[in-house]
């Protein structure tokens, strides 16, 4: 039976009437759809999944109930996943079905709108990084870092094979990196941090002619702004290694321009713009110097002309990609995060450069204010390093798990790093609750 007939149980999104289905079957000379299938009996499935069909209202209600099982906590959480207020205009425009329900722009003539939006996204990243090439997206910061490391293997000028990353690198990034380089000739090693950022002396010892890739973050995973980025870049350059910087578009609007500190590649979490808090879903920023253009992973949109000589956009340099180059492709990526990139560009454009910089400045000021308030409490030290901070910082207490549990009872979520350290992240979304957080801290540590 078809979906539109009352009482039918077919797919509600298959629009055939019973009469249409019958006529189509008759045209094909078969009695039922089942006759069209060429599945040997030995592997045919005639069981059931036991999933009842539900009407839309029921599904919506059920999922609302499911999500209501999440505790309503005010989150002061960061460490790689951040959200800022996303203007309603971004939700509204990005939800236009012409954007949302389209696909990769294999036919550029009929998909100029999305191509232009992605070209604009690339251009915004070019401005923020100072590097001349940005792709249409990787999945997230972790996969972007992994792809950047693989890029270093393809473009390296030396015989080296060592990828250097901070000892503080989050497991999500380190684990993803480890998997991606496992099939290459690269090995991952770490360099230590001192006082919240790269230990330059130790890094100088670690970098040698076997090093092909040095990765540094600013802000770091604990929110510290790296004070000596150019020195890190110099250390990498001295041994002809690629310098890859991890950051995000909000931080980049305020902090030193990556190109100015010698970055060859920039990766990071671009979903800080355009994405709400979404359980870790991301948007992988990937930008690099022009000389690596032919080795870039992922899609690129370029400008060209149409048959009338008018400007037009198109996916370009596709011979790098898996659907053309197969096992010699620069990456296996196909589906990416294009719609999130669209949202990020919309968000950036709606803020404008002054709004973006103001947001970034608040990330510095709010973190400083909150850490000062916490530091003023007996039994609390914040931050635990002597750096400037962006959004987040570490907090010292006697019993970190116990304090976090106490905060949770009072409606707050913070990171527990170990027995004596917490981490707290403040953005425009929770800045209004910092006084309450400080009060809760005061009660818990008392």
**CB-nearer residue toward another protein: 143 or 211:** 143
| Contacts for 315 with CB less than 8 Å, ≥ 6 apart | 104, 105, 106, 108, 115, 299, 300, 301, 302
By C-beta, is 132 or 158 nearer to another protein? Answer: 132
- Parallel/antiparallel/unpaired status of strands 284-288 and 265-269: antiparallel
Token pair 């000739």 is found at 185
Q: Which is nearer to another protein, 45 or 378 (CB)?
A: 45
Smallest distance from the beta carbon of 378 to another protein, in angstroms?
26
Closest CB to another protein among 114 and 441?
114
For residue 186 the two structure tokens come to 């690269």
**CB closer to another protein out of 203 and 252:** 252
Q: Which is nearer to another protein, 326 or 446 (CB)?
A: 326
Q: Which is nearer to another protein, 190 or 318 (CB)?
A: 318
Q: Which helix (DSSP H) or strand (DSSP E) does residue 400 occupy?
A: helix 400-409
Is the CB of 205 or the CB of 419 nearer to another protein? 419
Query: Could you give the 3-state DSSP secondary structure of residue 216?
Result: strand
What does each C-alpha distance from 157 to 154, 209, 281, 425, 427 come to in angstroms? 9, 11, 35, 40, 42
Compare residues 205 and 276 and give the one whose CB is closer to another protein: 276
Can you tell me the distance from the alpha carbon of 295 to that of 303, in angstroms, rounded to the nearest whole number? 19
CA separation for the pair 324, 402 (Å, rounded): 55
For the bound state, the minimum distance from the C-beta of residue 422 to another protein, rounded and expressed in Å, comes to 12
User: Angle of helix 141-155 relative to helix 171-181, nearest 10 degrees?
Assistant: 40
Select 239 or 410, whichever has its Cβ closest to another protein.
Answer: 410
Nearest residue to 128 (alpha-carbon basis) of 257, 292, 270? 257
β-strand partners of 265: 244, 288
Nearest approach, Cβ of residue 292 and another protein (Å): 12
Instruction: Find, among 418, 432, 420, 429, the residue nearest to 382 by Cα.
Output: 420
Least distance in angstroms from the C-beta of 236 to another protein: 19
What sign has the CA pseudo-torsion 298, 337, 84, 176?
negative
Distance (Å, whole) CA 10 – CA 307 = 46
**Please, what is the minimum distance in Å from the beta carbon of residue 272 to another protein?**
13
Q: Which is nearer to another protein, 54 or 205 (CB)?
A: 54
CB of 131 to another protein, least distance (A): 10
CB of 75 to another protein, least distance (A): 5
Q: How far is the CB of 285 from another protein (least distance, A)?
A: 12
Least Cα distance to 388 among 220, 150, 136, 205 occurs for 220
Q: How far is the CB of 163 from another protein (least distance, A)?
A: 15
DSSP string for residues in 167-188: TT--HHHHHHHHHHHTTSS-EE
Joined tokens for residue 355:
């709004």
Residue identified by tokens 């000892």 is 167
Q: How far is the CB of 155 from another protein (least distance, A)?
A: 16
Assess contact for 94 and 444: CB atoms under 8 A. Answer: no
Q: How far is the CB of 444 from another protein (least distance, A)?
A: 16
Measured CA to CA, the distance from residue 398 to residue 151 in angstroms comes to 44
Q: How many residues does the chain have?
A: 446
């Amino acid at each position: 039976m078809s979906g539109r007939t009352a009482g039918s149980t077919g797919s509600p999104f298959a629009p055939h009437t019973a009469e249409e289905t019958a006529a189509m079957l008759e045209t094909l000379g078969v009695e039922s759809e089942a006759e069209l299938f060429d599945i040997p009996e030995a592997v045919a499935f005639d069981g059931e999944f036991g999933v009842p069909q539900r009407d839309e209202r029921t599904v919506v209600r059920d999922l609302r109930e499911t999500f209501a099982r999440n505790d309503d906590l005010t989150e002061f959480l960061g460490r790689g996943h951040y959200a800022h207020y996303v203007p309603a205009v971004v939700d509204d425009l990005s939800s236009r079905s012409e954007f949302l329900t389209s696909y990769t722009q294999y036919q550029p003539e009929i998909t100029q709108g999305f191509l232009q939006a992605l070209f604009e996204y690339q251009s915004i990243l070019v401005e923020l990084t100072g590097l001349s090439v940005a792709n249409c997206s990787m999945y997230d910061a972790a996969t972007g870092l992994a792809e950047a490391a693989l890029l270093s293997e393809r473009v390296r000028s030396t015989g080296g094979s060592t990828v250097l990353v901070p000892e503080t690198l989050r497991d999500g990034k380190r684990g993803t990196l480890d998997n991606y380089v496992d099939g290459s000739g690269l090995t991952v090693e770490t360099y230590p941090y001192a006082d919240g950022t790269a230990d330059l002396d130790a890094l100088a010892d670690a970098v040698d002619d076997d090093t092909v890739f040095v990765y540094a973050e600013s802000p770091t995973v604990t929110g510290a702004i790296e004070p000596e980025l150019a020195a890190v870049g110099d250390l990498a350059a001295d041994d002809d290694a690629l310098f890859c910087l991890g950051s995000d578009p909000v931080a980049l609007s305020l902090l030193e321009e990556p190109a100015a500190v010698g970055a060859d590649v920039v990766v990071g979490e671009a979903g800080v713009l355009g994405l709400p808090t979404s359980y870790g879903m991301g948007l992988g920023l990937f930008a690099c110097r022009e000389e690596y253009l032919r080795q870039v992973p992922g899609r690129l949109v370029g400008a060209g002309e149409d048959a009338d000589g008018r400007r037009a956009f198109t996916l370009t340099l596709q011979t790098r990609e898996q659907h053309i180059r197969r096992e010699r492709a620069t990456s296996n990526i196909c589906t990416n995060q294009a719609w999130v990139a669209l949202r990020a560009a919309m968000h950036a454009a709606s803020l404008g450069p002054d709004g973006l910089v103001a947001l970034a400045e608040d990330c510095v000021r709010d973190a400083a204010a909150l850490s000062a308030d916490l530091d003023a409490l007996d039994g609390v030290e914040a931050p635990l390093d002597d750096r400037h901070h962006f959004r987040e910082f570490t907090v010292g207490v006697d019993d970190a798990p116990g304090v976090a549990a106490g905060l949770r009872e009072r409606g707050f979520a913070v990171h527990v790093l170990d027995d004596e350290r917490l981490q707290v992240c403040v953005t425009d979304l929770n800045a209004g609750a910092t006084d309450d957080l400080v009060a809760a801290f005061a009660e818990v540590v008392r």
